[in-house]
Structure 1
Amino acid sequence: MTSISIIGSGRMSAAIADVATRAGARIQIVRRSTSSSSGDRAGVAYAALGDDLTGDLVVLAVPYVAYPSILEHYRDRLRDRVVIDISNPIDFTTYDELTVPTDSSSAAQLARMLPEGAAVVKAFNVNLGDTLATGTNGTTPTTVLYAGDYAEAKIAVAVLVEAAGLRAVDVGPLSRARELEAMGFLQIVLAALGTTSYESGFTLLP
C-alpha cells in the first residue's frame, strides 16, 4: 500500500489528501500543531512539524518561500524518499512573474537543496484544488502532469494518481518543471482575474 506524508494543512493539502484517500493510501498530514479540529479526517495520522515522516511519498504542500524552513526540520530525513513539489513560485504581490531564475524552476531549486538519494517529482502544480478533490475537470477526469529524473519515483506518483481515478501524464525530465510552473502561473492568474473558474482549469483531452 502506498504511504504519503503531506507537509502543510491548506487547501492543496486537503485536495491531495482526497486523492490519496481515493487511492487507498496511508496518509500522514504534518502541520504546525497536532491539536485536533473539526476538520480532521478519520483514518489520517496527524503530526507536528519536526515529527518523523511515515510516507514513502512526501508532498511539500506549502508555498515555495517556506521550503527553507521546512528543510531545516527534514532535509536529511528526505534522503531516499520521493519528494513531490507542487509549488508555483509566483510573486503574489504583483502576480507578474515567477520568482526563480528564468533557466530554472522551484523543483530544480529544491533538488539542489536536498541530499543525494532524494528524488524530486514535479506534480499537481497545474491542478487547482477543486479539480483534485472532485476528480473531474469539466466533463473529463482530472489530468495530473508530472516531471522528474527518476523513473521509479515517477512511477510511484503515477500509481497514486491513477489509483485515485485520475489520469497521469509523464511530461519528461525535471527540466520540464519550468514549463509546468509557467502553466500553473498562467492558470492561477486567469482564475484570480475571473477569466476562468477555480473549479475548472487546464485539461488534456485523450
Structure 2
Amino acid sequence: MLAMKITIFGKGNMGQAIGHNFEEAGNTVEYYGSHDHATDLGQIVIMAVPYPALKSLATQYANELVGKIVVDITNPLNFDTWDELVVPADGSAAQQLQEQLGQSTVLKAFNTNFAATLKSGKNGDQTTTVLVAGNDQAAKDTFSDALKGSPLTVVDAGALKRAREMEAMGFLQMTLAANKKISWNGGWNLIHG
C-alpha cells in the first residue's frame, strides 16, 4: 500500500484517535483546528467535528474538497436534550453532506466508535470494528487500504443510505454511555462467527 496524506479537521479526542490509526498504518496525518487555515488537503479528509460545525466547515472548504474522499464521523443528535436526532428520519448527516459537496465522495465512518476504542484498537477483548458506508466502492476500498496496518477492522456497511442506521447506532451508544449503562471504553462491535 502506498502511504497517503490524511487531513483531519478536529484536534479533539476523536480526531487524535482516528489520526493515530492512520499513522500506525504508515500514512501522514495533518490536523487542523477551528481557527486554523488548511491548505493542500490530503486525499482523505476526516470531519472529526461536532455535527453543528459540519455544514460551515464544508462551505468554507468546498473548493478544496472537490475530488476528495470526505469522511463524516458525526452523530447529529440534539445536544441540548440528548433525546433525538436532528436530521429527517429518512436521511442522515452524511447524506446532507454529500448533497452539499456534490463533487466530493462522502463516506460515513467512525461514528459508532468511541475515542478510547479507536486509540487502543480494542473493544473489550475484541478488535475494534469500524463501519464504513458510501456509494463509491473505490473510495471505500481506498479508505480501508489506508487503515491496513492499524489495529482496526474495517467493515463495509453498504451504501451511504446506511448512514441513517449508523447514526442511530451512534446516538444510542452515546446515550447509553451518558447514562452510565456502558463505559466510554465500550460500544458496538461485530463478532465474525
Q: Work out the CA distance in 1 between the residues paired with 2:57 and 2:97.
A: 11
Q: Match for 2:15: what amino acid?
A: S
Q: Match for 1:87: what amino acid?
A: T
Q: 2:64 aligns with which of 77, 82, 88?
A: 77
Structure 1: give runs of 5+ residues left out of the alignment: 34-47
Q: Work out the CA distance in 2 between the residues paired with 1:172 and 1:7.
A: 25
Q: Work out the CA distance in 2 between the residues paired with 1:98 and 1:170.
A: 23
Q: Match for 1:170: what amino acid?
A: D
Q: 1:12 aligns with which of 11, 14, 22?
A: 14
Q: Match for 1:137: what amino acid?
A: N
* SS at structure 1 position matched to 2:145: helix
Q: Work out the CA distance in 1 between the residues paired with 2:12 and 2:132.
A: 21
Question: Is the 8 Å Cα contact of residues 137 and 201 (structure 1) preserved in structure 2?
Answer: yes
The aligned runs of 1:178-193 (5 Å cut-off) are 178-193=164-179
Q: Match for 2:5: what amino acid?
A: S
The aligned runs of 1:137-148 (5 Å cut-off) are 137-148=123-134
Question: Is the aligned partner of 1:153 residue 2:131?
Answer: no
The aligned runs of 1:22-171 (5 Å cut-off) are 22-33=24-35, 48-49=36-37, 51-116=38-103, 118-171=104-157
Deviation at residue 71 of structure 1 after TM alignment:
2.1
Q: Match for 1:189: what amino acid?
A: T
* SS at structure 2 position matched to 1:152: helix
Q: Work out the CA distance in 2 between the residues paired with 1:91 and 1:32.
A: 21
Q: Work out the CA distance in 1 between the residues paired with 2:22 and 2:148.
A: 10
Q: 1:198 aligns with which of 168, 184, 193?
A: 184
Question: Is the 8 Å Cα contact of residues 76 and 85 (structure 2) preserved in structure 1?
Answer: yes
Q: Please give the per-residue CA displacement for 1:161-183, whole angstroms capped at 9, x wherever unaligned.
A: 33212111101000000000000
Deviation at residue 31 of structure 1 after TM alignment:
1.4
Q: Work out the CA distance in 2 between the residues paired with 1:158 and 1:3.
A: 14
Q: Match for 2:61: what amino acid?
A: Y
Question: Is the 8 Å Cα contact of residues 126 and 144 (structure 1) preserved in structure 2?
Answer: yes
Q: Work out the CA distance in 1 between the residues paired with 2:141 and 2:131.
A: 12
* SS at structure 2 position matched to 1:76: coil
Which consecutive segments of 4 or more residues in structure 1 shift more than 2 A? 160-163
Structure 2: give runs of 5+ residues left out of the alignment: none
Alignment length (residue pairs): 190
* SS at structure 2 position matched to 1:171: strand
Q: How does the TM-score come out when normalised to structure 1?
A: 0.89
* SS at structure 1 position matched to 2:148: helix
Q: Work out the CA distance in 2 between the residues paired with 1:68 and 1:145.
A: 22
Deviation at residue 78 of structure 1 after TM alignment:
0.7
Q: Match for 1:111: what amino acid?
A: Q
